[in-house]
Amino acid sequence: MNTHVSVRSEKDLLGYRDIPNQFYFGVQTLRAIENFNLTHSKISNHPNFIIALAMVKQACAQANHKLGQLSEEKYQAIEFACKQLINGHYHDQFPVDMLQGGAGTSTNMNANEVIANVALEHMGFAKGEYKHLHPNNDVNMSQSTNDVYPTAIRVGLLLSLKGLQTAFATLIQAFSNKAVEFKDVLKMGRTQLQDAVPMTLGQEFAAFATTLQKDLDKINAIAPDMLGYVNLGGTAIGTGINTEAAYAPYAISALAEITKENIQAAPDFIEATSDMGDFVLFSGLLKRTATKLSKISNDLRLLSSGPRTGLGEINLEPRQPGSSIMPGKVNPVIPEAVNLASFQVMANDLAVTLAADAGQLQLNAMEPLIAFKLFESIDLLAKAMLMFTDKCINTVTANPEHCKNLVENSIGIVTALNPYLGYENTTRIAKTANVENRNVLDLIRAENLLSEEQLSEILAIENMIQPKASA
């Protein structure tokens, strides 16, 4: 063995290529690098995907060894290599673009080659000495890209889901904390950007927490189970060609043990190999959350607008100067960034939908786009939520006096008086107040329509922000 050779020669269907010897990937990965340079997002940018690929390969090796198809020496070497990847090593050896032709074959072969070469070194051989352990014959034994790749996507998303769940919970708690902090801040509620009826700022922030909690509950209820059904063992089109009958159950059981997830065999491997419905549904869940995050961001931008001519009910922590020409201007940059991240997730959902629709017959060759966009969306949402929490929500402050003044000067306050004065009277008062630019309460006092005691009772916070208790 000559460890000083700077390059090694590897052969595939198309011929020989020299591979710089410091690389653990091989000839098929090299061709993929040369062919696909479409984005800045490489497999190495998605560590959970690499970990998932290694987990799948380890499970398959375990099944093949159990069936007597893989020697003890080769199995131990492959398992060692897979565990290295699972522990975060060699991730820089996955330089292939996430956006690739070939239905994910480049990704699968990238994993096969890296695992093979790490295993070979562990066995005491040089990289590329595939006669001792081969990327296809050994690492990819009983497998096809068409079952390995979608299974790894599912496992990778399950791994990534944990980070999203944490980000969700953190943001929800931040909104809940502010709901308590602002529980006594009376403000005007608005519909269609017009004055409506009073509420508290705490209620507004509590609603933000509630709507995100609903999404988290839905994701927790649907995603783990949905993503846990895999077609591993189906090989090329779901028929399981080139495998033994016991292989799929062994491999799936091993994968469940390795991942500590509820991994199960899909009811129909042929259907599971071609259908992308689960990914469409998962993407839809992410889009739903993105839509809500964007709406909340818009609300915070409106509520903090000003500082002198906007709503000005809340203050967002200044994060940076807002203008190159307007001195003193500070913009709501964090909610704006959340808007942008949300828009990207919404756009990704369309890409996933189109890719799922483009499947033909027994395989969807557009799966790399689905993988790319789902991993991007889940990562983007998690980062956006954590940024939102840390750089915006935790530091939001209220302007209670300003909020109170807006309520007292609002036309909308007449709604609270409607049960006592009747619709015709309150309509007349509202119109007069609006036309003459007068205060609603001043008009009521001028006409002696209600006593001060009655007004105080009607306008008490507890009576304006919730249904009245039954007598």
- Catalytically active residues are 323
CA nearest to 243, candidates 83, 66, 103: 66
Residues 6 or more apart whose Cβ sits within 8 Å of residue 404: 186, 187
443: number of CA atoms within 13 Å, CB side? 24
Residue 279, phi then psi, degrees to nearest 5: -70, -35
Residue 26, phi then psi, degrees to nearest 5: -120, -155
Amino acid, res. 166: T
Q: Taking a C-beta distance cutoff of 8 angstroms, is the pair 414, 443 a contact?
A: no
418-to-49, 429, 460, 469 alpha-carbon distances in Å? 60, 11, 15, 18
DSSP string, 189-251: EEETTEEEEEEEHHHHHHHHHHHHHHHHHHHHHHHHHHHTEE-TT-TTTSS-TTS-TTHHHHH
Q: Taking a C-beta distance cutoff of 8 angstroms, is the pair 269, 231 a contact?
A: yes
137-to-68, 116, 132, 360, 380 alpha-carbon distances in Å? 14, 10, 10, 28, 38
Cα–Cα distance for residue pair 339/335, rounded to 1 Å: 6
Where do we find the tokens 């508290």?
Answer: 200
Backbone CA torsion sign across 61, 63, 65, 67: negative
Residues 6 or more apart whose Cβ sits within 8 Å of residue 431: none
Backbone CA torsion sign across 177, 183, 186, 190: positive
Task: Write down the H helix ranges in 130-195.
Answer: 145-181
Cα–Cα distance for residue pair 239/231, rounded to 1 Å: 10
How large is the C-alpha radius of gyration of the chain? 30
The DSSP 8-state label assigned to residue 262 in this structure reads -
Q: Which residues of 253-271 are buried (b: 16+ CB within 10 A; e: fewer)?
A: bbbbebbebebebbeebee
Cα–Cα distance for residue pair 218/210, rounded to 1 Å: 12
